A and B are shown apart, each in its own frame.
Chain A
Amino acid sequence: MDIYYTGVDVGSVTTKASVVDGNSRQVGSSIISTGISGFNSAEFVFERALKEAGITREMIKRIIATGYGRSLVSFADRQVTEITCHARGAFRKLGKPLTLIDIGGQDTKVIVVVDGGKVARFLMNDRCAAGTGRFLEVMARVLETDLDNLSEMALNTHNRAKINSLCTVFAESEVVGLLARGVSRDEIAGGLCYSIAERISSMTKKVGISGPVFISGGVAYNGAVVSGISDILDEDVYIIDEPQLNGAYGAALVAMTE
């Protein structure tokens, strides 16, 4: 019988599951909004990932839970922090040391990953939503659009509105004011994406870049934020394969090697 491993990443905004085989290949995955029950979301994505892989629960040898809500996943064998899991996932995909910027729904982490997928050092920003996906979510709503379109709008313009507030709540008010003054939505979107790129770049400089810079997490899909980070750091910035699943994938790898 083939053996498989699972990683479940219960984030503050989305919950992800990844099923890998004995060769570290991802054979099934699922992403869902976390909503109010981390446990329910975890169960749901687990079942869905199994279905996609075409396997049953009995074929899973070990399950690792990670993310903000990892303690809620009662069916997991062990909990491991998302820092460790992201590092493992990224290293497996790249095969060499890197600096990983994980921009999540409500937190951001910068991790220097060295050989073997080990964490050399890291920094977390999880006390303030500035520089996270939540900031963009709120702003997309104010601009009456969605996250994908927000990035498009930002990339449409060379002129960026200057957003002064770091705080999500106050920045929202600032955007309302700019709209009232007739500033274009594209320019505002550009300013917002650049603003979080600045915040994230500043964190990255503090940790110290070592190796190529990669981005993971849902915000990796926002091309404007990614190019903003690249401009500010004056570095090529790449997007990790399947950025939103990287934590769950890494957790599955941890399950495999334990």
Chain B
Amino acid sequence: MTDDYNVIWKELGIDLERHDKLIGGLGVIYPKIYLSQQNRPKAMAYFDDFVIDLHGFRVRELYEHKKKGGRIIGTFCLYVPDEIVMTLGAIPVSLCGGTDFTIPDAEAILPINLCPLIKSFYGFKAGRLSPYFQVSDIIVGETTCDGKKKVYEVLSDLGPVYVLEIPHKKNEDSAKLWRIEIDKFVKMVEKMTGNKLTYEDLKEFTKIFNEKRRALQRLNALRWNSPPPISGKDALLVNQVAWFDEPVRFTKAVNELSDELEGRVKKGEGVFPEQQLRLMTSGTPYAIPNWKIHHIVESSGYPIVAEESCVGSRYYTELADETPDTIDGLIGALADRYLKINCACFTPNEERMDSIVDLYKKSKAKGLINYTLSFCTPYLVEANRVEMRAKKEGLPVLNIESDYSRGDNEQIKTRIQAFIESI
């Protein structure tokens, strides 16, 4: 099986020697962080298999799609409309980076004082260490944060990049700009694939992605039970795989997991003691294999029951309206849906504060950890808004800033432990 992948990786231009080390590293940490957990739902096996083989089986599916004349679109953030990509016969895959292995490659070109997620993904491309990057025909980003916006310029030295202009605000004029960008994007993908958007196909994929979001809503709502039937780490893994996997198959696997969890809830079965203090996180995302905060918190014995994050509620909370009866209406519904996502790149961002409080109450969390990646200006400054709002609502909050290095694990652990002791 691995020889099979090696052939594909070689053809994709991967630096095989370094890539072996990277995959080997994953093979060492995954058992430590994931497989060591007790009483995991059996249905997690699907997601374990996916991640252990992260650069294998899914990459081969994309590779075969390409061999048949299909196109692969690498994406960033949450605003590239997957529905449109798939309706036109292309496959979207997320390229955000979660490991510090590739950061030295990035630091050779990019500033050190830059978001680790951005350095990580740039390093994946520059170091030829990601088959997902290599198999993509084009990379599509958005003008979300300054870091990404400017790094796309540098990335374009290494391959074709298309940038969607996301507005900074969410008023009527912003919506008009965004619709223009979506229409241009449709034309670009139609040209690239040689296909045309049809009403029936777009409606079908709108439904498929809504089903995926509903499945994730259902799964993540099951975590709100006492005791939680699944660990935060496991739920995080599912939320992370969502960015890679084929949507219909993924939805089925998530629903099977939820079925198993419902059985646990009926029996009052959980993976943490029932009255154990529960936490939720908010803030910046967790790209695979960034499991740091969840691992530190849950190894200390406390469950994380929700994430207000791109890899979390911001991914699946909003559904697209399926009812329009014209193609124009469907595209408009998608544009509306995507613009609702509350990233700190928008100003103002009060809706994010509302959603944090809402999720806190629903998940019955007893403390909020607002997690920001180092050098992320929008979320670091917005942490002040989160703190003010949390104080107003009487929610205990801890602001944590960290990167992908392992050097601050003890410091983070002490802060989190002190926070928990103070609740």
At the interface with chain B, which of A28-36, A80-88, A193-201, A214-222? A80-88
- B172 lies within 8 A of chain A by Cβ: no
The yes or no answer to A158 lying at the interface (CB within 8 A) is no
Q: Do A68 and B418 touch (CB < 8 A)? A: no
Q: Chain B residues with Cβ under 8 A from A118's Cβ?
A: 422
User: Cα distance A68–B415 when bound, in Å?
Assistant: 12
CB 8 Å contact bits of B391-415 with A (1 = contact, 0 = none): 0000000000000000010110011
Interface residue A205 (Cβ < 8 Å from any Cβ of B) = no
Collect the chain A residues with CB atoms within 8 Å of residue B414's CB. Answer: 68, 81-83, 124, 126
Q: How many A-B residue pairs have CB under 8 A?
A: 31
Q: How far is the CB of A248 from chain B (nearest CB, A)?
A: 17
A120 proximity list for chain B (CB < 8 A): 422
The answer, yes or no, to whether A119 is at the interface (CB within 8 Å) is yes
How big is chain B's contact interface, by range?
Answer: under 10
A122: interface (CB < 8 Å):
yes
Name A's B-contacting residues (CB within 8 A): 68, 80-84, 118-120, 122, 124, 126-127
Q: Which 6 A-B pairs have the closest CB atoms?
A: A83-B418, A119-B422, A81-B418, A84-B421, A81-B417, A126-B411
Q: Once the chains bind, are B418 and A127 in contact (CB under 8 Å)?
A: no
Chain B interface, >50% SS class: helix
Q: Which residue of A lies closest to B422 (CB)?
A: A119
Q: Are B411 and A84 in contact, with the CB atoms below 8 A?
A: no
Contacts of A68 in B (CB 8 A): 410, 414
Contact of A80 among B408, B415, B421 (CB under 8 A): B421
26 CB-based A-B contacts, threshold 8 Å = A80-B417, A81-B414, A81-B417, A81-B418, A81-B421, A82-B414, A82-B418, A83-B414, A83-B418, A83-B421, A83-B422, A84-B418, A84-B421, A84-B422, A119-B418, A119-B421, A119-B422, A120-B422, A122-B418, A122-B422, A124-B411, A124-B414, A124-B415, A126-B414, A127-B408, A127-B411
Cα A118 to Cα B418 with chains together (Å)? 11
Chain A residues with CB under 8 Å of B410's CB are 68
Find the residue from A81, A82, A124 having the highest chain B CB count within 10 A: A81
B110: shortest Cβ distance to chain A, in Å? 22
Taken together as a complex, chains A and B put the C-alpha atoms of A124 and B411 apart, in Å, by 9
Q: Provide the residues of chain B in CB contact with A119, threshold 8 Å.
A: 418, 421-422
> B residues within 8 A CB of A126?
411, 414
Residue of A nearest to B413 (CB): A81
How far in angstroms is the closest Cβ of chain A from B267? Answer: 31
Q: Nearest residue in B to A80 (C-beta to C-beta)?
A: B421
User: Cα distance A126–B422 when bound, in Å?
Assistant: 19
Chain B residues positioned under 8 Å from A124 (CB to CB): 411, 414-415
Chain B residue at minimal CB-CB distance from A83:
B418
Contacts beyond the supplied A68-B414, A119-B421: 12 A-B pairs with Cβ under 8 Å = A81-B417, A81-B418, A81-B421, A82-B414, A83-B418, A84-B421, A84-B422, A120-B422, A122-B418, A122-B422, A124-B415, A126-B414
| Bound: A198/B150 CA distance, A | 36
Nearest Cβ distance between residue B366 and chain A, in whole angstroms? Answer: 15
Q: How far is the CB of B194 from chain A (nearest CB, A)?
A: 53
Tell me the nearest residue of chain A to B415, going by C-beta. A124
Q: How far is the CA of A160 from the CA of B415 in the complex (A)?
A: 35
Return B406 CB to nearest CB of chain A, in Å: 13
Complex: A119 Cα to B415 Cα, angstroms: 12
Complex contacts, A80 vs chain B, CB 8 Å? 417, 421
Tell me the bound Cα distance from A144 to B415 in angstroms.
36
Q: State the CA gap A46–B415 with chains docked (Å).
A: 26
Q: Which of B408, B418, B421 has the most CB of A within 10 A?
A: B418
Nearest A residue to B407 by beta-carbon distance?
A127
Task: Report A-chain residues with C-beta under 8 Å of the C-beta of B408.
Answer: 127
B115 to chain A, nearest CB (A): 18
Bound together, the chains give a CA A125 to CA B255 distance in angstroms of 44
* Cα distance, A124 to B422, chains bound together (Å): 15
Minimum CB–CB distance for A66 against chain B, Å: 10
Complex interface residues of chain B between 43 and 80 (CB less than 8 A to chain A): none
Chain A residues with CB under 8 A of B415: 124
Residues of B within 8 A of A122 (CB): 418, 422
Q: How far is the CA of A84 from the CA of B408 in the complex (A)?
A: 20
CA distance A83 to B422 in the complex (A): 9
Cα distance A17–B405 in the bound complex, in angstroms: 33
